[in-house]
Amino acid sequence: QLQLQESGPGLVKPSETLSLTCTVSGGSISSSSYYWGWIRQPPGKGLEWIGSIYYSGSTYYNPSLKSRVTISVDTSKNQFSLKLSSVTAADTAVYYCARHNVEVFGVVLLYFDYWGQGTLVTVSS
């Protein structure tokens, strides 16, 4: 059974960089059929896609966050990571990692079928 687990600091200061890692177990992150994504949810609000990455390093980002987001992959550790720079209180949210189904040839991003449990990151001084 595929499992994903987010890890990283639960508290980040304003203007600093939020860094999270997602560890995938029960399957290979190098599978040719999937991207791997980050989604966040501010307290009491809806879901927002941050971005997704292929094992080769190919990425797609939410245009509204693109200038501050970097997603990377480490296939040797079966992990992918999120960095969000210049954070403010508006970036306080539960951050989820998930497996992202795609149409690989002529990339079309489809749906998320396996999710981590989520981790709350609070931006505060």
Partner 1 sequence: SYELTQPPSVSVSPGQTARITCSGDALPKQYAYWYQQKPGQAPVLVIYKDSERPSGIPERFSGSSSGTTVTLTISGVQAEDEADYYCQSADSSGTSVVFGGGTKLTVL
Residue ranges binding partner 1 (CB under 8 A): 37, 39, 46-49, 52, 60, 62-64, 96, 101, 103, 107-113, 115-118
CA 77 to chain centre: 16
Residue 96 phi/psi, 5-degree rounding, is -110, 145
- In angstroms, the CA 25 to CA 3 distance is 5
Q: Considering the complex, state which of residue 14 and residue 26 has its C-beta at the smaller distance from partner 1.
A: 26
Tell me how far, at minimum, the Cβ of 16 lies from partner 1, in Å: 26
- In angstroms, the CA 103 to CA 107 distance is 5
Tell me how far, at minimum, the Cβ of 101 lies from partner 1, in Å: 8
Q: Considering the complex, state which of residue 13 and residue 110 has its C-beta at the smaller distance from partner 1.
A: 110
Q: Considering the complex, state which of residue 46 and residue 88 has its C-beta at the smaller distance from partner 1.
A: 46
Q: Classify 15 as helix, strand or coil.
A: coil
